């Protein structure tokens, strides 16, 4: 049963009548692990009844620290519940979206920097000595250590598929999750997080993924592309709820546009360092480097400063494995969103800088390409959005006996909970071949469109095992990639 934005306010502190709206959860901090340091943030949301909180961190060979969180006031206009009430749910008549409710919250953020790598840290959030939340997280792994992590996109629209996927992710027990955009539907509003998102990934009671597993967010079109701060003040909710390392290129024509209205100024103050940091950043964990890019419609990734930052970020890294994480795929074989191809122009740059996998969401199914190299015909996106070019496919690689790819593997992991984009690879291939000569070739090695899914990676310095699992835990794809021992 889903909990609405209005029902969560029933979770009260016994001491003051204060309501906990979003349970404490862990996020990455602004200090990137690339610098050899580790930082984390613990966040939670309450109503605007004031409270005095502290957060205690402890771990093996780690002295206990107590920090006082910062508090930010979030005031938004009225919102309707967009959730579909469960049948026979108590109070159902009151939550069908017929009434609007004001949104006034306090967001608390507890910061801890200078954490050691390879540690398990326990935290407790207390109000006046009474625990209101706790969790245990792992700090990032040092360079030689193996890691297990999950990638999944297109997460929360209030349907049952997202609950099943989240339950299976919990069973895998990843060190972290890269959420590949479209974090909540339909327009990324704070009210939609409260309706559709938190009760799956961080419910007020019971098991919680985000209480112990940091989510690294990628911005998707439903998160940022359709917004108007003047008319709908609670849009761009991702910037309030997610944190990121502050090592990106800064604000520029690649950033979510805000304008200069008073509403934009209020947003900047409330979002803090998350804007613009959440759009473009990178981090290391174990033997892997992760580059997170915002490739939504407004983002001018071909700006010289942006291209320079991407190249420097990828080439400076000495990690054996390099992942580029975006929302809209460069190469896929679904008819939905097919003409959104501007990021193809960066293919030679990614190849030159040693990327291994390009991971995306946006297309609501699972797809894995053969290793490929691509040279675009032009340096600008033509009218219509289709970027033609020359393909070189590695058809020898099979991920079983031939495990060293010649080219980049492109992964679509957009089956996290959104309405599925179904279809058959064979029919789609016939359509693309007849309609788009020079734009599509048989580059798709695996295509699963009839079920929700997510992707698990198990990584050592010279071995990457990729497994795609569906919402029942069944394996739908397996691929082994190896590198020569250095």
81 pLDDT band (50/70/90 cuts)?
low
Q: What is the pLDDT of residue 484?
A: 81
Report pLDDT digits (tens) over 421-441.
Answer: 999 999 999 999 887 778 999
Q: Residue 212's closest CA among 42, 416, 37?
A: 42
Q: Report the C-alpha gap between 167 and 246 in whole angstroms.
A: 31
pLDDT at 80 over 70: no
Report pLDDT digits (tens) over 372-416.
Answer: 999 999 999 988 899 999 999 999 999 999 999 999 999 999 999
Cite the DSSP H helix spans in 327-421.
347-352
15 pLDDT band (50/70/90 cuts)?
very low
Lowest model confidence (mean pLDDT) among 44-48, 84-88, 289-293, 300-304: 84-88
According to CATH, the topology of domain 142-482 is Purple Acid Phosphatase; chain A, domain 2 (3.60.21)
Q: What is the pLDDT of residue 102?
A: 76
17 pLDDT band (50/70/90 cuts)?
low
Cβ neighbours of 329 (radius 10 Å)? 30
Q: What is the pLDDT of residue 94?
A: 34
Chain mean pLDDT for the chain = 91
95 pLDDT band (50/70/90 cuts)?
very low
Element (H, E) at 264: helix 262-271
Q: Report the C-alpha gap between 240 and 41 in whole angstroms.
A: 13
Q: What is the pLDDT of residue 93?
A: 32
pLDDT at 226 over 80: no
Q: Which long-range contacts (CB under 8 A, 24 or more apart) does 7-16 make?
A: 7/91, 7/95, 8/194, 8/198, 8/204, 9/47, 11/204, 11/205, 13/51, 13/127, 13/130, 13/132, 14/130, 15/127, 15/128, 15/130, 16/49, 16/51, 16/127
Task: Say what percent of the chain tops pLDDT 90.
Answer: 82
Q: Report the C-alpha gap between 470 and 164 in whole angstroms.
A: 9
Burial class (CB in 10 A: 0-12, 13-18, 19+), 409: buried
The one-character DSSP state at 207 is: -
Sign, Cα dihedral of 372, 443, 481, 324: positive
Q: Report the C-alpha gap between 255 and 298 in whole angstroms.
A: 8
| Average pLDDT, integer, range 31-56 | 89
Q: Residue 69's closest CA among 116, 132, 117, 1?
A: 132
| Average pLDDT, integer, range 452-463 | 97
Report pLDDT digits (tens) over 235-287.
Answer: 999 999 999 999 999 999 999 999 999 999 999 999 999 999 999 999 999 99
88 pLDDT band (50/70/90 cuts)?
very low
Report pLDDT digits (tens) over 351-360.
Answer: 999 999 999 9
Q: Report the C-alpha gap between 90 and 143 in whole angstroms.
A: 51
Report pLDDT digits (tens) over 114-134.
Answer: 899 999 999 999 998 899 999
Q: What is the pTM of this model?
A: 0.93
What are the boundaries of each domain within the chain? Answer: 142-482
pLDDT at 3 over 50: no
Look at phi and psi of residue 129 and say left if phi exceeds 0, alpha if psi is from -120 to 50, else beta: left
Cis link prior to 186 (omega < 30° from 0)? Answer: yes
Q: What is the pLDDT of residue 61?
A: 84
Cβ neighbours of 429 (radius 10 Å)? 16
pLDDT at 444 over 90: yes
Q: Report the C-alpha gap between 108 and 111 in whole angstroms.
A: 10
DSSP, residue by residue, 266-319: HHHHHHTTHHHHTTSEEEEETTEEEEE---STT--TTSHHHHHHHHHHHHH---
Q: What is the pLDDT of residue 5?
A: 38
Task: Say what percent of the chain tops pLDDT 70.
Answer: 91
């Amino acid at each position: 049963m889903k909990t609405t934005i209005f029902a969560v306010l029933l979770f009260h502190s016994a001491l003051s009548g204060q309501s906990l709206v979003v349970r404490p959860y862990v996020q990455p901090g602004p200090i990137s692990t690339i610098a050899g340091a580790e930082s984390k943030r613990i966040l939670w949301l309450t109503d605007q009844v004031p409270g005095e909180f502290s957060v205690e961190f402890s771990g093996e060979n780690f002295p206990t620290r107590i920090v006082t969180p910062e508090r930010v006031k979030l005031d938004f206009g009225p919102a309707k519940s967009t959730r579909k009430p469960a049948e026979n749910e108590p109070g159902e008549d009151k939550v069908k979206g017929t009434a609007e409710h004001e949104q006034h919250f306090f967001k608390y953020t507890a910061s801890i920097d200078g954490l050691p790598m390879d540690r398990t840290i326990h935290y407790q959030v207390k109000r006046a000595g009474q625990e209101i939340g706790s969790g245990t997280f792992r700090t990032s792994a040092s360079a030689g250590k193996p890691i297990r992590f999950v990638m999944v996109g297109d997460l929360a629209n209030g349907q049952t598929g997202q609950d099943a996927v989240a339950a299976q992710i919990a069973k895998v027990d990843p060190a972290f999750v890269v959420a590949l955009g479209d974090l909540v539907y339909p327009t990324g509003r704070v009210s939609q997080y409260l309706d559709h998102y938190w009760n799956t990934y961080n419910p007020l009671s019971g098991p919680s993924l985000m209480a112990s597993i940091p989510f690294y967010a990628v911005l998707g079109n439903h998160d940022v592309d359709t917004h108007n701060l003047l008319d709908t003040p609670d849009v761009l909710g991702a910037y309030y709820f997610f944190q990121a390392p502050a090592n990106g290129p800064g604000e520029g024509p690649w950033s979510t546009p805000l304008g200069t209205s008073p509403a934009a100024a209020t947003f900047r103050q409330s979002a803090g360092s998350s804007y613009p940091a959440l759009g473009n950043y990178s981090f290391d964990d174990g033997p892997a480097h992760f580059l997170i890019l915002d490739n939504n419609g407004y983002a001018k990734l071909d700006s010289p400063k942006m291209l320079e930052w991407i190249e420097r970020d990828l080439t400076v890294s000495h990690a054996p494995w390099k992942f580029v994480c975006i929302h809209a795929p460069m190469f896929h074989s679904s008819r939905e969103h097919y003409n959104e191809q501007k990021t193809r122009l960066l293919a030679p740059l990614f190849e030159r800088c040693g990327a291994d996998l390009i991971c995306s969401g946006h297309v609501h199914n699972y797809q894995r390409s053969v290793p490929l190299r691509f040279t675009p015909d032009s340096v600008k996106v033509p009218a219509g959005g289709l970027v033609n070019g020359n393909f070189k496919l590695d058809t020898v690689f099979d991920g079983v006996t031939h495990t060293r790819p010649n080219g980049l593997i492109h992964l679509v992991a957009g089956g996290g909970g959104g309405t599925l984009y179904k279809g058959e690879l064979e029919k789609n291939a016939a359509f693309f071949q007849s309609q788009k000569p020079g734009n599509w070739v048989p580059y798709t090695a695996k295509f699963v469109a009839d079920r929700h899914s997510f992707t698990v990676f198990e990584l050592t310095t010279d071995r990457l095992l990729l497994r795609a699992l569906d919402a029942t835990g069944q394996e739908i794809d397996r691929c082994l990639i190896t590198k020569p021992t250095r």
